[in-house]
């Protein structure tokens, strides 16, 4: 088994970056599995076999969503952009451009991912927590 | 590896996780200023100064026919609290011990939180930080020695802010002794004092603020007080020997008051901490 999820030498990466990379790899694998089941379901004539595959694909939906939520929680800018795109009616590309522009405007300090600030306790503002 | 040099420390990933979690747990309840003022950033360790948008005239120019002004900025201050962790404690944690002795870290977290609160609320002249109470034009209102009487001066402070066109909601920072008095009063039954104070503050928060002398009422409408973070609180590595690892809590920040009228001090006042 290799360690292909790392693009840089693992020894030089902080623990948080390694965990992040593992979850990115997991997200990719879940998306691939969803696609594979979609293809199998499209060609499988046996109703019982299809029911099993639908159930299995549902598991992959769950895994993909959990992976995504973990990554979004660790990457506020990604989360902010995703919030502008996901579950929104209308033009997906337009939402994407708007969300990216808003995130860039607010993030004039640069990326707010802990991956870019290793060692930070990421406490930030507590004003909302107090109210 | 960044300037915190964490990867040089003889600490496992699990050990770092323990230290980071402990520090965050200790710091979060004590960082009162961050509950009441605007927070900008973090801008990064390389960020050195806050733009004030103001200039100072330069008396002379390099040649005739030109004039010059110089930009004024507020330099960030680096705050650091050293602490030590026993290597044997860290090794025991790696073995599964759930009761690691991190007292020195807890002390450092308490000190740096108090320093941040004091700088924001009362100022830190040597670091060019003008605190909220230091620049408030309002005369401090007497708080009284008994918590039962607190609603009156708090309501007076809110009224003073309204008279100056400062809208709410409002937040109340209570020094350690004052907060304890309020909490104890609430425990003794009757109409809870905390609820009463919340109503006076237009549902604003009442915040435990170690380091604050007396109490401070501030507007939470935003735009009046700005804490700019360079590097948010982080743990860095200094050195180690056979017995212990020497670490530190560190942050860089500036603080500026845009509307000095947006806060009223209550009770005893001091420019220093406790």
Closest CA to A83 of A72, A94, A67, A70: A72
Distance CA B87, CA A81 (A): 42
Interface predicted TM-score (ipTM) over 0.95: no
Q: What is the pLDDT of residue B238?
A: 95
Distance CA A53, CA A62 (A): 14
- Residue B142 to chain A, least CA–CA distance (Å): 25
Residues B208-221: pLDDT tens digits? 999 999 999 999 99
Q: How far is CA A78 from the centre of its chain?
A: 8
Per-residue burial over A34-59, b if 16 or more Cβ lie within 10 Å, else e, is beebeeeeeeeeeeeeeeebeeebee
Helix/strand/coil for B2: coil
* Average pLDDT of the segment spanning B79-103: 94
Least confident of A113-122, B160-169, B199-208: A113-122
Least confident of B88-102, B116-130, B173-187, B222-236: B173-187
Answer yes or no: do B205 and A131 touch at CB < 8 A: yes
Whether the CB of B220 is below 8 Å from some CB of chain A: the reply is yes
Q: What is the pLDDT of residue A14?
A: 81
Give this prediction's pTM: 0.72
B190 φψ region: left (φ > 0), alpha (ψ -120 to 50), beta (else): left
Q: Are B250 and B231 in contact (CB under 8 A)?
A: yes
Q: Is the pLDDT of residue B206 over 50?
A: yes
Name which of B4, B38, B207 is nearest A130 (Cβ-Cβ).
B207
Q: For residue A109, which residues of chain B lie inside 8 Å, CB to CB?
A: 40-44, 47
Strands (E) across chain B are located at 38-40, 49-57, 69-75, 77-86, 170-174, 206-208, 215-219, 225-229, 234-240, 244-257, 263-266
- Residue B15 to chain A, least CA–CA distance (Å): 11
Least confident of A11-15, A32-36, B267-271: B267-271
Whether the CB of A14 is below 8 Å from some CB of chain B: the reply is yes
Q: Residue A14's closest chain B neighbor by CA? A: B7
Average pLDDT in chain B: 91
Name which of A117, A126, A127 is nearest B42 (Cβ-Cβ).
A117
Distance CA B193, CA B215 (A): 15
Least confident of A10-24, B149-163, B168-182, B208-222: A10-24
Q: Are strands B234-240 and B244-257 parallel, antiparallel or unpaired?
A: antiparallel
Omega of the bond prior to B169 within 30 degrees of 0, cis? yes
Helix/strand/coil for B82: strand
């Amino acid at each position: 088994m290799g360690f292909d999820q790392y693009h840089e030498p693992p020894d030089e990466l902080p623990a948080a970056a390694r965990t992040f990379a593992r979850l990115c790899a997991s997200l990719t694998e879940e998306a691939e599995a969803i696609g594979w089941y979609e293809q199998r379901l499209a060609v499988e004539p046996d109703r019982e076999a299809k029911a099993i595959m639908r159930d299995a694909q549902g598991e992959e939906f769950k895994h993909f969503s959990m992976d995504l939520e973990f990554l979004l929680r660790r990457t506020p800018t990604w989360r902010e952009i995703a919030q502008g795109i996901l579950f929104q009616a209308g033009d997906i590309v337009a939402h994407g451009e708007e969300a990216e522009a808003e995130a860039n405007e607010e993030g004039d300090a640069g990326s707010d991912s802990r991956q870019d600030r290793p060692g930070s306790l990421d406490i930030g503002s507590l004003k909302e927590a107090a109210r | 590896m960044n300037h915190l040099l964490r990867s040089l420390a003889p600490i496992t990933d699990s050990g770092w996780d323990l230290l980071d979690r402990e520090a965050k747990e200790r710091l979060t309840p004590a960082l009162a200023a961050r509950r009441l003022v605007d927070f900008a950033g973090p801008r990064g360790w390389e960020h050195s100064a806050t733009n004030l948008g103001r200039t100072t005239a330069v008396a002379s120019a390099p040649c005739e026919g030109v004039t010059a002004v110089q930009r004024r900025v507020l330099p960030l201050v680096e705050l650091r609290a050293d602490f030590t962790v026993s290597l044997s404690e860290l090794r025991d944690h790696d073995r599964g011990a759930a009761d690691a002795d991190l007292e020195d870290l807890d002390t450092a977290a308490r000190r740096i939180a108090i320093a941040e609160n004091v700088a924001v609320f009362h100022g830190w002249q040597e670091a060019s930080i003008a605190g909220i109470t230091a620049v408030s034009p309002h005369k401090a209102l007497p708080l009284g020695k008994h918590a039962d009487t607190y609603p009156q001066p708090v309501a007076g402070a809110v009224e003073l802010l309204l008279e100056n066109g400062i809208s709410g909601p409002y937040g109340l920072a209570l020094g350690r002794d004052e907060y304890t008095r309020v909490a104890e009063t609430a425990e003794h039954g009757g109409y809870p004092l905390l609820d009463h104070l919340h109503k006076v503050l237009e549902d604003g928060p009442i915040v435990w603020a170690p380091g604050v002398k007396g109490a401070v009422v501030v507007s939470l409408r935003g735009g009046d007080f700005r804490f700019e973070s360079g590097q948010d609180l982080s743990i860095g590595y200094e050195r180690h020997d056979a017995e212990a690892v020497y670490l530190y809590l560190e942050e860089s920040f500036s603080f500026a008051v845009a509307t000095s009228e947006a806060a009223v001090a209550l009770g005893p006042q001091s420019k220093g901490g406790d």
